[in-house]
Every structure is written in structure tokens, then in C-alpha cells.
Amino acid sequence: MSTKVLPTDEELMSLPKDGFKRELLNGEIVMSPAGSEHGRQIMRFSFSLMGYVFKHQLGEVFDGQTGFRMQSRDVLIPDISFVGRDRLVGLREAPEGFYEGAPDLAIEFRSSSDPVKRLNAKLDQYFKNGTKLAWVMNSKRRTVAVHRSVVPDRVLTSADELTGDEMLPGFRIPVADIFAGFSY
């Protein structure tokens, strides 16, 4: 019976910065490249979310390079994440390495190359480690799945509005705006 040796934090942090997002999922390093539209949508949504979170002093927003260490020792990297103010009390700045535990809100922009099985494994880990809410954006279908567990509570379409519920009270954005194309 062999025992898998997990990479150290230092080994994970020293992996090449070559455009691939690397996570440790189920003890395996998983890589996924992101296309330009994927990155553009993430940045546009991040801008709306960050502005709201900072204006209302709700906590901190992290980008898709921030690793969260799960109890399983896996390191997951949501495309965007939010940690509420109550979990940051007493901290002067974010940890130097990976954040211990899951974010309160995990946001994943699913690309067509992301296997559903991998996404569900990540969602399972998030919720087992304290995530309260996850939004899975599907750019191809232009939908947002709202999760409080691996199974979505509801799926929003371009005719709907995404709200922050109790996590981000008052936050709202039309789903159509999340997936809007260029406006020049």
C-alpha cells in the first residue's frame, strides 16, 4: 500500500507562472489554462464585486491566484473569492502563503473545458470547509448557478438578477451584464 506524498506549500508556490492555473485537488496537481474572454469576464465581475464589498466594508475579495488550503490538504483556487469581515478580525493583512480554510463565497467561471466532475469535487471541498455560498458562472449558456451545496439551489438566466442574499446584503447585478460583450 503506497502513500501519496503531497507537495509542500513552497513547492506549490514555486510552480511556473506560465498562464496555467494549478490547484491541488484530491492530491493531484490539476492545471487549467484560461482564454482571454474568460479572463475579461472575471475582471469585469471582480470590479463590480470589489467596489460593492469595499464601499460597504464587508470583507475582502481575492483574485484567481489565491490558494485556499482545505482540511484534506488540497489547495483550491476559485476564480474570485470573498472572505467576510468577521473572519478577518484581528488580522492586519492576508496570510503570506495559502489561506487556511475555504472562502465564504467561491466564484467559478466555468469554461467548456472544465469537467463537471472536477467542478463538483471542488464544490464539495468548498462546502465541507466552510464555504456558505458559491456562484458558478457558465459563459456558454450565460447562466449563474447559485449553490449552498454541490447541487445548485437555482440557476439564473440572462433575464434574472444575481443578488448577494445574506452574504452581501444589497449586492445585485443583472446576469446579462455579467456576460456582456464589448460595448465599443
What does pTM read for this prediction?
0.83
Cell of 79: 476564480
Residues 78 and 110: their CA atoms lie apart, in Å, by: 10
Q: What's the confidence (pLDDT) of residue 91?
A: 75
What is the per-residue DSSP string for 47-88? HHHHHHHHHTT-EEEE-TT--EE-TTS-EE--SEEEEEGGGT
Question: What is the average pLDDT across 6-11?
Answer: 65
Please write the tens of the pLDDT for every residue from 102-135.
999 999 998 777 788 989 999 999 999 999 999 9
CATH says 9-178 is which class?
alpha beta
Residues 84 and 171: their CA atoms lie apart, in Å, by: 14
Domains of the chain: which residue ranges?
9-178
Higher pLDDT, 66 or 35: 66
Residues 155 and 146: their CA atoms lie apart, in Å, by: 6
Question: What is the average pLDDT across 83-103?
Answer: 85
Count the neighbouring beta carbons within 10 Å of the beta carbon of residue 83.
23
Higher pLDDT, 150 or 20: 150
**Residue 9 — pLDDT band, cuts 50, 70, 90?**
low
* Range with the poorest average pLDDT among 33-37, 43-47, 174-178, 180-184: 33-37
